[in-house]
Structures are given as structure tokens and as C-alpha cells.
Structure 1
């Protein structure tokens, strides 16, 4: 047991050093001095389906900016609540905000991709910024984003907003998105390599230059992809166009889910499709997580029963290194490190959701989200 734990501790130390380096590779959006009396050439595009609880705060965060976009277009995707009425109320005060009615979903398309495609058709700016309705922009966000876009000139920019969480299950699972990115994706290669394998994006915040968007085929080229953000990023990299995965959390935040049930359904929809439905890849990741983060806890309990002091110390060291990895990633992304101590429970939760996602994918039962079923 002592030898096993020694090997695990060395692996965890290497992982810790990697994430410390890796998290520093994110380009960081910085406060910008950009100012203009005229609206900038940026269209903010928001697909919305029954978002009455979220859309008002999203729009309010936009109108609170010092610098306004040229237009904000909200696509009402057959909402049955007050989504449209809320947007229309904003448009009375801010004429550059408007709502557009969505068309019936075409065969072969997924809902969000079709909504985004319709928005892009009518956008009039050089840059398109796709936002989810649960995204909030902090003051100064548009200046910071637009300055980065002007410097980049073309291509795509995405990033992971600061994740606000409320329920216990949200605290456990939602931050694991950045945990997997930090541990496995060399951020420097995302920016420098043309290999589409080194791509990551967040669908809640995607900025893309209009001609680049049309050159890669837009959302029509990825119309049947459940993980549309990753698919779009890969298309950009395949064309050799600039792609930036930036640290945007100082300016952008969101609460993706508002209950444990939503977390389960949302991650279940994305996990297996997110690894291209590869049983081998998902199983390998879960085996690695079990080895690094769960096995030391099991060994600690066994060592306590055996009163094996050396193994106890090594198991505690392994657990501490795992917690340190999680805490470093959380802190770097604007979160508290308190939940890092529950990393083994977070890992178990992620594995359970992943297995459920794999089961649905393999049995072709269909993933359910916002009243629609996706294969």
C-alpha cells in the first residue's frame, strides 16, 4: 500500500505543478480604456426559450454597461412564458434591443444551434457575441471584450464565466467543468496549435467575427451537435483561424443551473456527447480520477484500521494534494476553495452523471432538455 500511495503522490504532485502552470496560460481580459460615442460593431445574440426568470437580469447587465453594442437581438424560441414581453419592455427604452420570433425547428437541427443560426442571419455587426440568458456582464465587460476582439481581428473568442452556485449539488458538480479543463487541456496549445483536438469553449459566451462565422459554415455545419460550443471551436481551428480561450470571469458570471435536478440533467446531456461518445475516453478519465482521488481515501480508511502510520501519512498527503489541485483551480476562477475538501464526493457525483449519460447515449434513449428530446 505504501508503494502504491507513493506513486500516486508523485503523480498528483506532477498534476499540481501542471495546473499551476496551465492556469497561468489563459489570456486575461483586462479593463479597457476604449470609449466611443457611437455604438460599436458588435451584435449580442441571445437564444431564449422560456427564460422569463433569467432574461431580465441578462438584459439589465447589458444596458448597465458604459459602452453599448450596436444591437441586442433575442430570439424567442417558442416560449410559453413571459420571455417575449420582458424583452419588448426593454426595447421600448432601448430601441437597439429587439426580439425576433423563432421559426419552427427544422429536421436534423438541434434547438439552440437553429436559434443561433437564425440570430446570425439578421445580425448587422462585424462581430457576433452569442450569450446565454443566464449570463451576466459586469460593468466594463463590453469594453474589455471588444478591445480583445479588435486586437484579434478575426476568428473566435470564448471563455468560462465565473460560476455562481446555490444548492449543495451545484457546489459539488458545476466547478468540475473547470477542474477537467485545468487538469487535462494544455491552454497554451489551444492558442498556438492548429490541431482541433486542443479546443474548448463555453456556449454561454462565444464571440466570433461575422465573416469567419460564415466561412466555417456557421451553426448549420454543426446543426446536429449536442455540444455545439466545442464543435464550433473545432471548426474555427480546422480552418486555421485565430481562436482564443480567455479568462473572462473578472467580467462575466452566470448561474447555469438552479437545482440539483437541473445540474444532473444538464451535465448528463453533455458529458458523453462531449467526448464524442467515446466509451474508451470517458472510461479512461473516470479510471484516472478513481485512481488519483478516490483510491487514497479508501487506502486511508484501510490504513486507519490497520494502524499503519506510514500509509496513513501517505494517504493524507495524496488527499491533500488532490484538495490543493481543486482549490488552486477554484481560486483561479474566482471561486472559494472551501468545497475543494469534498473533492472525492465531487468525483463520485461526476462519475455517476457520466455513467448515466453514457447509458442514455448507448441505448439511444434521447437526452431531454427544455422540453425537447435530443438523440
Structure 2
């Protein structure tokens, strides 16, 4: 057991140093001045389906900015609540805001991709910023976004907003999204490599230049993809446009889910499709996670019973390294590091969701989200 734990500790130490280096590779949105003669224009596009609990705060965060986009269009995707009425109230005060009625879902399309495609059709700017209704912009966000887009000129920009969490299950699972990115995706290669394998994006925040958007086929090219953000990023890289995965949490935040059930259903919908329904890949990742982050805890308990002090020390070292990796990623993304101590529980939760996602995918039972069923 001591030999096994020694090997694990070496692997975790390497992972720790890689993570520190990797998190420093993110380009960072920076505060910037704004000039009215900027060579770009920006349309903020928000697909909304029954978002009355979220849309008001989203719009308020945008109108509270020092500078505003050229236009803001919300697509009411057949909402049955007060979503449309809330947007219309904003439109009465701000003429650059309007609401668009969504068409009936076409066969072969998934709901969000079809909504985004309709928004792109009516957008007048040369940059399109797709936001989810639960996204909030902090002060100075518009200027920072303009600054990055002016520098980049074309292609796509995405990033992971600061994640606000409430329930315990949210705190355990939601930050694991950045944990997997920080541990496994060489961020430097995301911008430099044309290989679509080195791509990651967050569907809540995607800015894409209009020429690039239509050259890659728009959302129609990925109309049946459950993980539309990743599919769009891969298309951008395949065609050869610039792609930036930036650190946007200083200017953007969100609360993706508001209950443990939403976390379970949301992640279950994305995990298996997110690895292209590759059983071997998902199983391999979970085996590695079990070995690195769960096995040391089990070894610690066994060593404690056997009074094996060497193994107890090594297991404690392994646990501490795992916690340090998680804490590093949490802190770099504007979160507290307190939940890092529950990393083994987060890993167990993620594995449970992953296998539930795989089960549904293999049995073709269909994933349910916001009243729609997806295959």
C-alpha cells in the first residue's frame, strides 16, 4: 500500500504543478476605456424559455453598464410565464432592447440552438454575444468585452463565469466543471493549436464574429448537438478561425442551477454527450479520478485500522495534494477554497452523475430539460 500511495503522491504532485501553470495561461478580460468610434458593434442575444425568475436581473445588469451594446434581443422561446412581459417593460425604457417571438421548433433541431440561430438572423452587429438568462455582467464588463473583441478582430471568445452556488449539492458539483478544465485541458493550446480536441467553451457566454459565425455554418451546423457550446468551439477551430478561452469571472457571474435536482438533471444531460458518448473515455476519466482522489481516502482508513503510520502519512499527503489542486482552481475562479476539503465527495457525486448520464444515453431514454426531451 505504501508503494501505491507513493506513486499516487508523485502523480498528484505533478498534477498540482501543472494546474498552477495551466491556470495562469488563461487570457484575462481587462478593464478598458471605451470610445464611440470603436470599429466593431455588438449585439447581445439571449434565448429565453420560461426565465421569469432570471431574466430581469440579467437585463438589469446590462442596462446598469456605463456603456451599452448596439442592441439587445431576447428570443421568447414559447414561454408560458412572464418572461416576455418582463422584457417588454425594459424595452419601453431602453429602445435598444427588443423581444423576438420564437418560431415553432424545427425537426432535427435542439431548442437552444434553434433559438440562437433565429437571434443571429435578426442581429445587426458584426459581433454576436450569446448570453444565458442566468448570466450577470459586473461593472465595466462591456468595455472589457469590446477591448478583447477589438484585439481579436474575428473568431470566437468564450469563458467560464464566476459560479454562484447556494445548496450543498451545487457547491459540490458545479465547480467541478472548472476542475476538469484546469486539470486536463492545456489552456495554452486552446488558443495556439488548430486541433479541435483542444477546445472548451461555456454556452452561457459566447461571443462570435458574424462572418466567422456564418462561415462555420452557424448553429445549423450543430443543430442536433446537446453540448452546443463545445460543438461550436470545435467548428471554429476546425475552420481555422481564432478562438479564445478567457478568464471572464472578474466581469461575469451566474448561478446555473438553483437546486440539487437542477444540478443533477443539468449535468446528467451534458456529461455523456460532452465526451461524444465515448464509454471508454468517460470510464477512463472516472477510473483515474477514483485512483487519484478516492483511493487515498480508502487507504487512509485501512492504514488507520492497521496502525500503518507510513501509509497514514502518505495517504494524508495524497489527500492534501488533491485538496490543494481543487483550492488552486477555485481561488483562480473567484471562489472560496473551503469546499476543496470535500473533494472526494465532489468526485463521488460527479461519477454518479456521469454513470446516470451514460445509462440514459446507452438506453436512448432521452434527456429531459426545461420541458423538452432530447435524445
2:143 is matched with 143
2:322 is matched with 322
Number of positions where the alignment pairs a residue of Structure 1 with one of Structure 2: 375
1:96 is matched with 96
Pairing 1:1-375 to 2, within 5 Å after superposition: 1-36=1-36, 41-375=41-375
Shift of the alpha carbon at 1:33?
Answer: 1.2
User: What whole-Å deviation, never above 9, does each CA across 1:225-257 have from its counterpart, x for those lacking one?
Assistant: 000000000000001110000000000000000
Shift of the alpha carbon at 1:35?
Answer: 3.1
Runs of 4+ with deviation above 2 angstroms: 35-40
User: What whole-Å deviation, never above 9, does each CA across 1:173-215 have from its counterpart, x for those lacking one?
Assistant: 0000000000000000000000000000000000000010000
User: What whole-Å deviation, never above 9, does each CA across 1:112-171 have from its counterpart, x for those lacking one?
Assistant: 000000000000001000000000000100100111001100000000000000000000
TM-score normalized by the length of structure 2: 0.99
User: What whole-Å deviation, never above 9, does each CA across 1:57-107 have from its counterpart, x for those lacking one?
Assistant: 000000001111000000000000000000000000001000000000000
Q: 1:247 to 1:31 in 2, by over 3 A?
A: same
User: What whole-Å deviation, never above 9, does each CA across 1:344-368 have from its counterpart, x for those lacking one?
Assistant: 0000000000000000000000000
Conservation of the 8 A alpha-carbon contact between 2:40 and 2:127: no
SS state at 2:74 partner: strand
Q: 1:97 to 1:42 in 2, by over 3 A?
A: same
Conservation of the 8 A alpha-carbon contact between 1:159 and 1:202: yes
User: What whole-Å deviation, never above 9, does each CA across 1:292-338 have from its counterpart, x for those lacking one?
Assistant: 00000000000000000000000000000000000000000000000
Q: CA RMSD in A?
A: 1.0
Q: Distance in 2 between matches of 1:257 and 1:232?
A: 23
Q: Distance in 1 between matches of 2:339 and 2:281?
A: 27
Conservation of the 8 A alpha-carbon contact between 1:194 and 1:238: yes
Shift of the alpha carbon at 1:34?
Answer: 1.8
SS state at 2:206 partner: strand
Conservation of the 8 A alpha-carbon contact between 2:134 and 2:256: yes
Q: Distance in 2 between matches of 1:149 and 1:253?
A: 19
Conservation of the 8 A alpha-carbon contact between 1:39 and 1:67: no
Q: Distance in 1 between matches of 2:39 and 2:268?
A: 40
Shift of the alpha carbon at 1:36?
Answer: 2.5
SS state at 2:265 partner: helix
Q: Distance in 2 between matches of 1:193 and 1:75?
A: 34
Q: Distance in 2 between matches of 1:88 and 1:133?
A: 15
Conservation of the 8 A alpha-carbon contact between 1:40 and 1:70: no
Conservation of the 8 A alpha-carbon contact between 2:128 and 2:210: yes
SS state at 1:35 partner: coil
Conservation of the 8 A alpha-carbon contact between 2:40 and 2:126: no
SS state at 1:69 partner: coil
When structure 1 is superposed on structure 2, of 28-37 and 214-223 the one drifting more is: 28-37
